[in-house]
Copies of this chain bind each other. A is one copy, B any other.
Amino acid sequence: MDQPSYARIAADLRAKIVRGDLAPGVRLPARHELADEYRAAEGVVRQATEVLVREGMLVSRPGAGMFVRQRPQRRSLVRSWFRERQAGSPFAQQMEEQGRHGTWAYRSDTMQAPPEVRERLGLAVPDGDQHDVMRTAYVFTSADDEQPWMLSTSWEPLSLTKGTSIAFPEGGPHAGKGVTHRMAVVGVDVDAWDEEVWARTATREEAQQLGIGAGSIVMVAERSYFAGERVVEVADIVVPAESTKLVYNGPVGDS
């Protein structure tokens, strides 16, 4: 009894799944049957299956049963590539290069930057409630399964873009052209990016938008675009960890 009983049951079920003994899509025996089989209380079996649901091995459908997850291969979201092509190209192009299709919805608004964003963009403390950034929120949907799979929000300082033809990222003559191109229009030379990645549990709203279980894991990538030392755009990306990988690559130099 080194490990608790629910962990032992979870481990056994997990092993059966990875061995293929329980195939993807297969329905597990009901709780009371498993409890019988493992000679444990129903509550204990429940703890075990909870663990596996959180791990993404099982999907539970109330009233129907618990099913072994069909493992969709993880989507690779390439966030940098030094060989194939340069960074900064717009989303649609990136997706096509990866052989994926999809659509996205967006919404742009001017607003007052929340404190974190203000700090990341290096903005001054605003007067009163004056708007100082353009926020654009995206929801990306895969054409394959018509399922939203990525949320993204970008902030650009109005001090750079206000009154210009690029004020709305997805409007005007330069719509959808990517930050680099758009910023060049107003004489800003975007030359570097920085991305900070971490993971956390999804908020209720994110879980709903992404069609994942409450409390599922999401990865967050916070990207900043630089023109010299100046941050000219920040963009946050949220993707489900169970179905997405973030991919980075680069050269190894020794000069």
Binding site for B on A (CB under 8 A): 3, 7, 51, 54-56, 74, 76, 79-80, 82-83, 86-88, 180-181, 184, 190-201, 204, 215, 217-219, 225, 241-242, 244-255
Contacts and interface: CB of A to CB of B under 8 A. Distances in A.
A79 B247 CA distance: 12
B245 A217 contact: no
A56 B252 CA distance: 36
Nearest to A253: B86
Contact of A192 (B193, B241, B252, B254): B252
Contact of A252 (B219, B225, B249): B225
B247 A197 contact: yes
A215 B250 contact: no
A56 B201 CA distance: 9
A55 B200 contact: yes
A219 B197 CA distance: 9
Nearest to A218: B199
A30 to B, nearest CB: 22
B194 A87 contact: no
Contact of A248 (B7, B194, B241): B194
